[in-house]
Chain A
Amino acid sequence: MFSIEFEIVIVIILSAITCSIPGAFLVMRRNYYAADTTNRSAMLGIAVALIFSSYLSSPLVIILGSITSGLAMILIKKIKEFTSFRAKGLSIIISSAFLCFGILIAANLSFNNTTNFDLSIIYLGETAFTYFNRLRVFGVDIGSYALYAVSFVLVINIILVTVFYNEFKIDGVDKNYAASIEMKESTIDYLLLIMTSLSVSVSFQTAGIFMTSAFILGPAATALFYTKRLSTLAFVSVFISSVACLAGFGIAWPNEVSISGTIVSFLGVLFIVSVIFSPEEGLVKKYFDNLTAQKRLEEYIIMDILNSEIIDCREKHINEEISSSLKWKLMKVSYIMNKLKAENKIEIVQNKVQLTEEGKTILNKFLSAQHCFY
């Protein structure tokens, strides 16, 4: 129907969007371990499903995969209730146990007939393979199976989010308020669980069960650098994941390297770039902000010392005096003193260094802003 590249790109983008929608809510709700756990524990369901069916994209795989990942999350909750362990540690144990049992089953029991099947497709994903599993209606080829499966889950996700949008919003913004209007937190938990596990088990063939967590967390974590509102967060993360997919595919396809690996690396690059250069919270901006704030603070410290007259304010040894009492280098002190003099904030009256009227007003303004009331 379409060209092979076009269809693969569509499948990738759709699965990335499917993953990034629950991801935005997971990051917002500070539910840290869900992404990793669902990914890894889906392996058990996939392996069991592969005993009965030999196709990676059959409905049985999606259903069993999401059931086991949901089961893992519920198991973690139950164990957490009667022991003192933290959820993240438990999630690693449970998910690696599920993963290992899954691999054991897949390696020894599944694929009875197809002996040369490479298991690493499940771990790492191979997007191009999705193209060869076609869906036929009355003998007519209507596109690859994965396309329909992914869009089905995407539609489910979008419907769930639009129907329960208010609940998500209240829950993400204010937990106390949510509790006060007697909204059950667990309903949102289970909704998110359903969304995440469905998205994971449908998109593992594009990204593989390990890299799906980057599909889930990456766009949302990057989007948090640009917006804080929930609705925009979802849209920005969808945008970021599509950009990463297009760019990754564009690089990987001609060079014949792993498509999912390139996309995930690209997501990582976007994240790191946002960490460093984001206009509001980027490292570069923070660094320069801190530098100027620090410089200003240093000026105020010296002005306050001169104002309170704790030390001997005669002009002769003033720099040494300040430098020893602050434990700063003499160079730094004399630099700041010269700057203050040039800015007309301090003056010398009868061999004594003191603040000018202008400096005093500036200092008082600063000091009154330093209070921290609750």
Chain B
Amino acid sequence: MLRTYSSKEHLEQLNVAVKIENLTVEYNGRATLFNINLDIPSGVLMAVLGPNNSGKTTLLKTIAGIDKPSAGNVYIYSRPTHALKNDIAYVPERNFVNWDFPINVYDLVLMGSYNRLKRVEAPDTKDKVSAREALERMGLDTISKKSICDLSRGEKHRALIARALVQDARIYIMDEPMIAADEESINIIIDVLQELRHKKKTVIVSHYDFVTIPRYFDMVSLLNVRLIASGTTEDVLTEENFEKTYGMSAGMIKNIRLYMEESHAGNK
């Protein structure tokens, strides 16, 4: 059963998990993110939406502490990012992972527990149990011995998310976890996202498909180098905001998306 926080008041009651203050990231004198101010309440599912090159990945990476900001601050539970790395589980975009890497699914998922280990310590039974649980949760237990290069697209997404689940962090940051995945994988991933919210975790997801956002997410941020709007899905997903973010109306984008998906399927 999907349930979203609909009211603004509810969001305001929650305390802040991620506080972004005047964040600017520049590359070669060009701003990838410009003056972003954003508060992400604790325990919400937030989607980041925007066109290509709008800085979605950069925003997520900056929150995760991977990229350094040129100006501004990012606080996580009112502490700067570099102070608490164990609180963030990061799921990279599928294309940025080297899938030729010789490792099987179980070992990949077990990598999540390395965070708790000392320099030359092997994972113990507890870690192995939690890895098994994560595999089962993501529906990967039957193929846990498979090499990661043989997985389908959806299974690759699920394996990466399972690794993050083992990490057991307070904040989950996922870069396009559902793009080009099959129906079954999307359902499992959505279920897991809901479950994470029930456990009071904060989840930040960059997502491409704005049609499904109101069903799955509590909050949404529209991003196009600057932050266009942020808040509950009802407030933010308006025609006017779309115009600002994409430079065209939602209907047109829908058509383009359909066309692109068709041509994509044709190319396969």
Contacts and interface: CB of A to CB of B under 8 A. Distances in A.
Contact between chain A and chain B defined by CB under 8 Å: yes
Contacts of B69: 327
5 contacts: A301-B34, A305-B22, A310-B22, A326-B73, A327-B72
Given A326-B72, A373-B247, A293 B30 contact: yes
Interface in B231-268: 246-248
B28 A293 contact: yes
Nearest to B102: A84
Given A371-B247, A372-B53, 17 more contacts: A84-B100, A84-B149, A292-B29, A294-B29, A296-B29, A297-B29, A297-B30, A301-B71, A304-B34, A304-B35, A310-B22, A325-B72, A326-B22, A367-B34, A370-B31, A372-B52, A374-B53
A84 B246 CA distance: 39
Contacts of A326: 22, 24, 71-73
B224 interface: yes
Contacts of A297: 24, 26, 29-31
Interface residues of B, number: 27
B51 interface: yes
Contacts of A372: 51-54, 224-225
A360 interface: no
B37 interface: yes
B35 A305 contact: yes
A29 interface: no
Interface in B1-28: 21-22, 24, 26, 28
A67 B74 CA distance: 61
Contacts of A294: 26, 29
B24 A301 contact: yes
A63 to B, nearest CB: 38
A328 B224 contact: no
B31 to A, nearest CB: 6
Nearest to B80: A327
B34 A373 contact: no
B128 interface: no
A38 B69 CA distance: 46
B142 to A, nearest CB: 23
A112 interface: no
A354 to B, nearest CB: 17
Contacts of A298: 71
Contact of A371 (B26, B29, B225): B225
Interface string A286-298: 1001111110111
A370 B225 contact: yes
A20 to B, nearest CB: 31
B226 interface: yes
Interface residues of A, number: 27
Contacts of B53: 372, 374
Contacts of A291: 29
A184 to B, nearest CB: 19
A325 B22 contact: yes
Interface of B: 21-22, 24, 26, 28-31, 34-35, 37, 51-54, 69, 71-73, 100, 149, 224-226, 246-248
B22 A370 contact: no
A166 B226 CA distance: 44
Contacts of B26: 294, 297
A294 to B, nearest CB: 5
B29 A374 contact: no
Nearest to B100: A84
Nearest to A291: B29
Contacts of A293: 28-30
Interface string A259-300: 000000000000000000000000000100111111011101
A84 B52 CA distance: 30
A286 B247 CA distance: 31
Contact of B71 (A327, A367, A371, A373): A327
B71 A328 contact: yes
Contacts of A290: 28-29
Contact of A310 (B24, B29, B37, B73): B37
Contacts of A373: 51, 224, 246-248
A301 B29 contact: no
Contacts of A304: 34-35
B58 to A, nearest CB: 12
A371 B22 contact: no
Nearest to A327: B73
Contacts of B22: 301, 305, 310, 325-326
Contacts of A370: 31, 34, 224-226
A310 B246 CA distance: 26
Nearest to B53: A372
Given A84-B149, A301-B35, A371-B225, A286 B52 contact: no
Nearest to B72: A326
A81 to B, nearest CB: 15
Contacts of B30: 293, 297
B67 to A, nearest CB: 14
A370 to B, nearest CB: 5
Interface in A311-326: 325-326
Interface in A339-369: 367
Interface in A53-96: 84
The 7 closest A-B pairs by CB, nearest first: A293-B29, A373-B247, A290-B29, A326-B71, A370-B225, A294-B29, A304-B35
Contacts of A367: 34, 226
A105 to B, nearest CB: 35
B21 A325 contact: yes
Of the listed residues B71, B72, B225, B247, the one surrounded by the most CB atoms of chain A closer than 10 A to its CB is B71
B186 to A, nearest CB: 24
A84 B54 CA distance: 34
A373 B71 CA distance: 24
